[in-house]
Amino acid sequence: MKKIMFNDRFLLTKAVIEGDKTQTRNIIYPQPKYSPFGGMIWKGYMSGFLCGDYAMRSDTEKAYQSFARSLKYKKFVYKPGEIVAVAQPYSHLYADKIKDWAKHNYHHLREDAAEHFAEEVAHSQGWSNKCYVKTKLMKHHIIFKDLKVEQLQDINNKDILKEGIKQFGEKFGFYDNKRNCNQLFDTARLAYEALADLLFGKDTWENNPYVIVYDFEIKK
């Protein structure tokens, strides 16, 4: 099983676990190119041709759909129906309960073995860094439902809220752990524009890259 990491500076892991974030975007590398005469061109392959009366012209939406279908066969892409562990540091999940958890989930462990297991986990890099956690020790999982391809700025207001942007009265925004406050904006779109640049790097929104859009839900 794979694991997936969400940004904790903006409380996105929390949003996923609580069901407030049900969509995420990954920038495609290298970036594909769109041509009205060639559809989507990526790594030497083309998707989305329309032949016949249109003399090889392609429709943008159909090109995107065709490209998305072709990506489902790539190893780096999460597939619809795939279950993935949500990575969290062990300290967020267990704290002083790791021994009890070990005894409950590994019934064959004796008291001393459970003690050893608890100590091993507590002293591992995964205790404070979720990059090093084992998927089998994660408590929360998501199920991927669908994927599509679009440019970053194609996101609509409905999907912006699926990305974890929240409404605060008449404002929209997200919590920033580094600044210890909510970052608020007049519209949901402005809020996501700011969040995207913080997540992906400065000027990402302006550069408007092609992204894979994943829909998912938390596994109960």
The chain-wide mean pLDDT, for the chain, equals: 88
- The per-residue pLDDT for 165 is 98
Q: What is the pLDDT of residue 144?
A: 98
pLDDT at residue 19 is higher than 70: yes
Between CA 11 and CA 129 the distance in angstroms is: 16
Q: Check if CATH label 3.10.400 holds for domain 3-86+139-218.
A: yes
Percent of the chain scored above 70 by pLDDT? 85
Q: What is the mean pLDDT of residues 80-88?
A: 97
**pLDDT tier at 122 (50, 70, 90 boundaries)?**
confident
Name which of 8-12, 36-40, 174-178, 213-217 the model is least confident about: 36-40
Point out the least confidently predicted range of 48-57, 167-176, 189-198: 48-57
CATH 3.10.400 residue ranges for the chain: 3-86+139-218
pLDDT at 57 over 50: no
Confidence band of 54 (pLDDT split at 50, 70, 90):
very low
pLDDT band of 168, cuts 50, 70, 90: very high
